[in-house]
Chains A and B, each alone.
Chain A
């Protein structure tokens, strides 16, 4: 990448953030599974996996955002705002898809309130579920939208 072109860095930052969201979403899924299991060996393993997942989320997100953090600390412009890019557009579309998935999940939860009441699950369970749906749907949508297709490869 040339020094003049920061667009590749911007794309990498956004892809890294999506990767962090994916790891975060998987971690929250593990937390959901943990909440549904009895205390015991499996529960301990899931608890440990959730801790590893949380650490990975922080590391992946920090490494991805490092060019932006460095820019803020040094005042040196490493990442300029692109007018727009395919990856930026895909990120926005992914957030929209995440919002749709979150809304649909809320509709399902609202529609099954009586049944869910009978399960007597803690309130935290539903917050974790909604957060997992939001970040997982957005990140999976991002990687789907930005996947390489054969046609692009042929054009180079």
Chain B
């Protein structure tokens, strides 16, 4: 998992009963790209993030979010 970026692609895929290959075909990327985004190995570009969000008809923030870290105040 990427230390700063979380995503809910797997959740949306499950809701739409889609495989990684189905989603990859739908937005025009390879299955490897989807699988590596899901596990946080690859941080997608804005274009891919928007394509994924558009496909599921949600906002980018619904799919991707920053992992909140507790920062100690001085």
Chain A residues at the B interface, C-beta cutoff of 8 Å: 1-2, 4-8, 10-11, 80, 82-87, 89, 146, 149, 151-152, 155-156
- Let me know if A85 and B30 touch, CB within 8 A: yes
Chain B residues 13-54 with CB under 8 Å of chain A are 19-20, 24-25, 28-33, 35-39, 41-42, 44-45, 47-48
Give the number of A-B contacts (CB < 8 Å): 66
* B41 contact set on A, CB distance < 8 A: 86, 149, 152
- Let me know if A152 and B28 touch, CB within 8 A: no
Task: Known A84-B45, A87-B33; judge A155-B28 contact (CB<8 A).
Answer: no
Task: Known A151-B39, A156-B20; judge A86-B30 contact (CB<8 A).
Answer: yes
* A146 contact set on B, CB distance < 8 A: 32
> Nearest-CB distance from B15 to chain A (Å)?
15
> Nearest-CB distance from A32 to chain B (Å)?
34
- Let me know if A10 and B35 touch, CB within 8 A: no
Q: Chain A interface mostly helix, strand, loop or mixed?
A: loop
B-side interface residues, number (CB < 8 Å): 22
* B48 contact set on A, CB distance < 8 A: 83-84
- Let me know if B10 and A5 touch, CB within 8 A: no
* B36 contact set on A, CB distance < 8 A: 86, 152
> Nearest-CB distance from B34 to chain A (Å)?
9
> Nearest-CB distance from B4 to chain A (Å)?
17
CA distance A23 to B48 in the complex (A): 33
Task: Known A155-B10, A155-B20, A155-B39; judge A86-B32 contact (CB<8 A).
Answer: yes
Task: Known A156-B19, A156-B20; judge A82-B28 contact (CB<8 A).
Answer: yes
> Nearest-CB distance from B72 to chain A (Å)?
31
**What is the chain B residue whose CB lies nearest that of A153?**
B35
